[in-house]
Structure 1
Amino acid sequence: MIINLTKKQARQFLLVKHGLLGEYKFEGEKGILAFVKQAGCIQFDPIDSCGRNADLVLLSRIKNYNREMLSDLLYQNRKLIDYFDKNLSIFCMDDWPYFLRNHKLYDYMDRYDCRIKLTCEEIKNEIKRRGPLCSNDIHNDKHITGAWGTKSSLTRAVLEHLYFTGELAIHHKKGTTKYYDCIENCIPKKILDKADPNKTLYDFQKWLVLRRIKSVGLLWNKSSDAFLCINQLKTLVRNRIYEEYILSGKIVEVRVEGCKEPFYCVQEDLEIMDEVLSKFVYKKRCEFIAPLDNLIWDRKLIKEIFDYDYKWEIYTPQNQRKYGYYVLPILYGDQFIGRIEAVFTKKTNKLEVKNIWIEQNIKYTKILDKEIHKRIVKLEKFNQNNVNEL
């Protein structure tokens, strides 16, 4: 089975799947859970220029979203958990058993000096005795050089190590400060007691590849940032996985006009595909897209289908940036029509728009100006309502 799409239809399929075109299809905490389950995970990044990445992902999709909803799902209701999937991510608590093998992968003991190993039990006993703690709660004046050559307190290094290896979890946060607790106090016993559903590394790779295809919506069988953190995913392994999924019918080939490489979608998204092919007319929305949004994990794919070239320049030296430090793509209807750099300052409680760049092929109309302004107001209100952040 091969599905043929125009580029416009491909864009609409992706955006409808992501809840970014037409009316909002996700709302409240139930909507957050539904989207995260569909996406597999959303990336977490601590940088907060006008909202952290996970917040911006959800703000663009969840009707009436606020940070408290995410905090409750992570640290009160425990329906979600923050751990490693595609880098540091947020995913459904039920998925925890699938990542058990990552505990060994993220064992950084050998990258630190032996004091980490010697201090682990001491730190765990301190948490068992006193409850959830952050690095500042445990006095230790020793410092070590970490895995990336950065200097860190021994306490912080031990806490991170125990978190990486699944012995501690994040109990809650105050701002960007993490409070750790024993894993058994943060994950329900019925989930913690489950065995890894994947028997081999290949099983895990195969599970993750399907998860990433489903997350992006359309994905080709080639090297992609969407496949980051899938350990040892060589080309031959990826080819084999795709072949097996095609034969089983779990993924379907999609051809997009003007694109040499075929794309693939998961079988359960064919209902969305049918809707798009029926030439349904979708209501336009304006949204600002997070820099690590699932939709744009594969920047080359976005260039191919949307004809939009986006680079997150946060790690680019200032004198080499084309746009700015924390720039968000602007989506309107089924097109990326520009980008915006906005910074929220807590002291003034205002959102400063540093610049807006409109793509050369886009006609800037009064309607478009109005829609962008409405979105700016929405982003400012979100930040104002969340000054006392997680």
Structure 2
Amino acid sequence: MTSRGPATELSRDEARYIAIAAALPADGFPTVTAALAHLHIVQLDGISTLARAHQLTLTARVPESTITTVDDSLNNSSLPIAFDYPAHALSLVPITDWPLWAFRRRATRRHPQYPDRHARSALLDQITREGPLPIRRLRGDTESGAGWDWGPAKTAVEMLLWAGELASTRRNAGRRLFDLAERCLPAEYLTDQKSDDACLSQLLGHAGQALGVATADDLADYLRIPTPVTARLLPATRLTPVRVPGWEPAWADPDALARMPQPRRDPVFLGPFDNLIWHRPRVQRLFGFTQVLEAYKPAARRQHGYYVCPLLADGRLIGRADLARRGETLTILQAGLEPGPGPDAAHHFAHACRTLAAATGRSHVAFGTDATDPATAATLKSALDDVL
């Protein structure tokens, strides 16, 4: 265990600023590869009413990028830059991190649903013969095509992906392609030599870099590992202990502490699967903001809408909007501002709409019917007219 000095004291504002700057540096990243290398995990999701989850996360961090250029970077580079893996749910993970997920590959091979020798051979032989294949070609005609329906073939494919025998590094028309890991990954990364603790200690350092400042629970959630395991290993990581009023013991990235940043300058809508807001207790602790994902609820039970994006501005979450692409238009289906958002809230909302419209390739922004109360709608529409 490394000897450490007294824990650094941080105010709640300082902790919030550090967290924002770690997740969304003010100047962004020059490339998708660089953004991935910093975050280490970018969550995937199939909902596309606005854009795919990874597209929103990455366009928010790579200036002037669009959902098209993001996917071009992921699918058309000479060498793959990321692979799909159940890191934090199903996620994009940088190719260079493959050795660090050996702990989860080993655990998968002990999983009760790990396919038997005959099932493995059948799938691996088919892919060996035919090349990279989408799941519909591997599951055959007897299983449903619904993404939530895990029949025997889909379960076997996913288990082989988790175990590292298969890998998915490219997509065709948005569909994952499954290939032999040794055929689509650089040989230098194809190793399971690191021990579980060595993998997890390094990954916790990565999570701390992406979060800036975090509790053990926050760090555990980032990697989807048990909090007691995280607490045991934290003293062996590069992270340093800090104290924040009202938090349980916390840890910070040393580089983030050295910078002590100011809030992000440009307002931005965050996709509901964005790294900064995916852990709801942390969002409440940092922002006093209740983050909810209502896309999977029946419509009658939704309070804020189907695909709701919180608005980050001036170091706070000041509002949210249910957003969708409708033809060439970014449509605001429902919108609201938090109490006391400040005099610039409408301008921030409009600026973030303009940025998001450009990122998603939309040429217009419009309000849907009854998107918000008349007074707020008039204020927001006026601000939109000023910036568009």
Q: Find the counterpart in structure 1 of residue 243 from structure 2.
A: 255
What is the aligned counterpart of 1:372 among 336, 349, 358? 349
Cα distance in 1 between the residues matched to 2:83 and 2:150? 28
Change (3 A) 1:221 1:132: closer
Q: How many pairs does the alignment contain? A: 356
Q: Find the counterpart in structure 2 of residue 269 from structure 1.
A: 256
- Work out whether 1:358 is the aligned partner of 2:337: yes
Q: Find the counterpart in structure 1 of residue 3 from structure 2.
A: none
Matches within 5 A, 1:301-380: 301-345=282-326, 348-363=327-342, 365=343, 367-380=344-357
SS in 1 for 2:48: coil
Note if contact 1:108-1:161 (Cα within 8 Å) is conserved in structure 2.
Answer: no
Cα distance in 2 between the residues matched to 1:66 and 1:202? 38
- The amino acid that maps onto 1:62 is V
The alpha carbon displacement at 1:184 in A equals: 1.8
Note if contact 2:24-2:264 (Cα within 8 Å) is conserved in structure 1.
Answer: no
**Larger displacement relative to structure 2 (103-112 or 161-170):** 103-112
The alpha carbon displacement at 1:299 in A equals: 2.1
Note if contact 1:303-1:309 (Cα within 8 Å) is conserved in structure 2.
Answer: yes
Question: With structure 1 as the length reference, what TM-score do the two structures score?
Answer: 0.80
The structure whose residues are more often strand, as a share, is 1
Note if contact 1:86-1:229 (Cα within 8 Å) is conserved in structure 2.
Answer: yes
Note if contact 1:43-1:87 (Cα within 8 Å) is conserved in structure 2.
Answer: yes
SS in 2 for 1:293: coil
Matches within 5 A, 1:235-254: 235=228, 237-245=229-237, 250-254=238-242
The alpha carbon displacement at 1:243 in A equals: 3.8
- Work out whether 1:300 is the aligned partner of 2:281: yes
SS in 2 for 1:111: coil
The alpha carbon displacement at 1:93 in A equals: 0.7
Cα distance in 2 between the residues matched to 1:138 and 1:305? 44
Cα distance in 2 between the residues matched to 1:109 and 1:19? 36
Change (3 A) 1:123 1:374: same
Cα distance in 2 between the residues matched to 1:300 and 1:340? 21
SS in 1 for 2:276: helix
**Larger displacement relative to structure 2 (352-361 or 160-169):** 160-169
Cα distance in 1 between the residues matched to 2:264 and 2:251? 26
- Work out whether 1:287 is the aligned partner of 2:275: no
| Aligned alpha-carbon RMSD (Å) | 3.1
Cα distance in 2 between the residues matched to 1:146 and 1:287? 33
Q: Find the counterpart in structure 2 of residue 97 from structure 1.
A: 99
Note if contact 1:218-1:263 (Cα within 8 Å) is conserved in structure 2.
Answer: yes
The alpha carbon displacement at 1:340 in A equals: 0.8
Note if contact 1:56-1:289 (Cα within 8 Å) is conserved in structure 2.
Answer: yes
Q: Find the counterpart in structure 2 of residue 216 from structure 1.
A: 211
Question: With structure 2 as the length reference, what TM-score do the two structures score?
Answer: 0.80
The alpha carbon displacement at 1:209 in A equals: 2.9
Unpaired segments ≥5 residues, structure 1: none
- Work out whether 1:44 is the aligned partner of 2:25: no
Q: Find the counterpart in structure 2 of residue 165 from structure 1.
A: 163
Cα distance in 2 between the residues matched to 1:125 and 1:166? 16
Tell me the alpha carbon deviations over residues 67-87 of structure 1, each in whole angstroms, 9 at most, x when there is no partner: 344434433331222212122
SS in 2 for 1:357: strand
Cα distance in 1 between the residues matched to 2:53 and 2:251? 26
